[in-house]
Amino acid sequence: MKSFDSEEILFSDNHILIALKPAGLLTQPDQSNDPSLEAFAKKWVKEEYHKQGEVFLHCIHRLDRPVSGLVLFARTSKALSRLNEQSRSLEIQRVYEAEVEGIMKEKIGRLDHYLIHGDHRAIVAKEGDKDAKHARLTFQVLHYMPDSTIVRIELETGRYHQIRAQFSAIGHPIKGDRKYGSKSGDGTEILLHCAKMSFAHPVTKEVLTFESPAPFG
């Protein structure tokens, strides 16, 4: 895992911060006490703005540890409340890119499944099963590799491990994702990247778009 530096802060104002998370880094601190994007970003804010005391910084969405890409943080409680409402209303657009195993025959499509949040993994279930939640996404093939496919993915719902579980369920697990059936890698980094994000600024209401090319494919 590469180290984090100021170049990974893509944007910051008084209300929000956008950072680029490398694969292998936690989004938020957990019981492991391993480094996290949130901790690095708080340190950056403290130094950049000469802040005294605790820094207010809360992520609006999390990326799994082995996933890379854009992460949005709120820098005030007002911004946090408004961005959380946008997130609940599915008004924050997040576009992912992934390299999945095998050659996908369908170039454009939608995946519909029902998922249960199990023990550190998502389990594909049936409609009507206890605790099963509808998971839906659209995809478009960008190009083909010799034994894999690069796809662009847009979420229509935001379920736990949704992209990972859904592509595994159709026989095309994300490369490196051992937890969901990939035959490559060691599971610490998977080829899934949050490449684009669009949302209304919580104060100015201006529509902001940020992009970061995937580090693969």
User: Residue 152 pLDDT > 80, yes or no?
Assistant: yes
pTM of the model: 0.93
And the tokens for 202? 């919580």
User: Residue 1 pLDDT > 50, yes or no?
Assistant: no
Domains and CATH numbers, the chain: 6-211 (3.30.2350.10)
pLDDT tens-digit profile of 59-113? 999 999 999 999 999 999 999 999 999 999 989 999 999 999 999 999 999 999 9
* Nearest residue to 147 (alpha-carbon basis) of 113, 184, 121: 184
Q: Give the integer Cα–Cα distance in Å for 104 and 109.
A: 11
pLDDT value at residue 217: 81
Stretch 130-143: mean pLDDT: 97
User: Residue 32 pLDDT > 60, yes or no?
Assistant: yes
User: Residue 3 pLDDT > 70, yes or no?
Assistant: no
Stretch 4-12: mean pLDDT: 80
Q: What percent of the chain has pLDDT over 90?
A: 92
The three-state DSSP-derived secondary structure of 139-188 is EEEEEECCCEEEEEEEECCCCCCHHHHHHHHCCCCECCCHHHCCCCCCCC
Q: Encode burial over 69-106: b for 16+ CB neighbours within 10 A, e otherwise.
A: bbbbbbbbeebbebbbeebeeeebebbbbbbbbeebee
Stretch 16-21: mean pLDDT: 97
pLDDT value at residue 187: 83
Q: Is the dihedral of CA 142, 167, 189, 8 positive or negative?
A: positive
Q: Give the integer Cα–Cα distance in Å for 133 and 124.
A: 10
**What mean pLDDT, rounded, does the chain reach?**
95
User: Residue 6 pLDDT > 70, yes or no?
Assistant: no
pLDDT value at residue 141: 98
pLDDT value at residue 2: 45
Residue 63 DSSP code: -
Q: Cα–Cα–Cα angle for 91, 94, 100, nearest 5°?
A: 145
pLDDT value at residue 148: 97
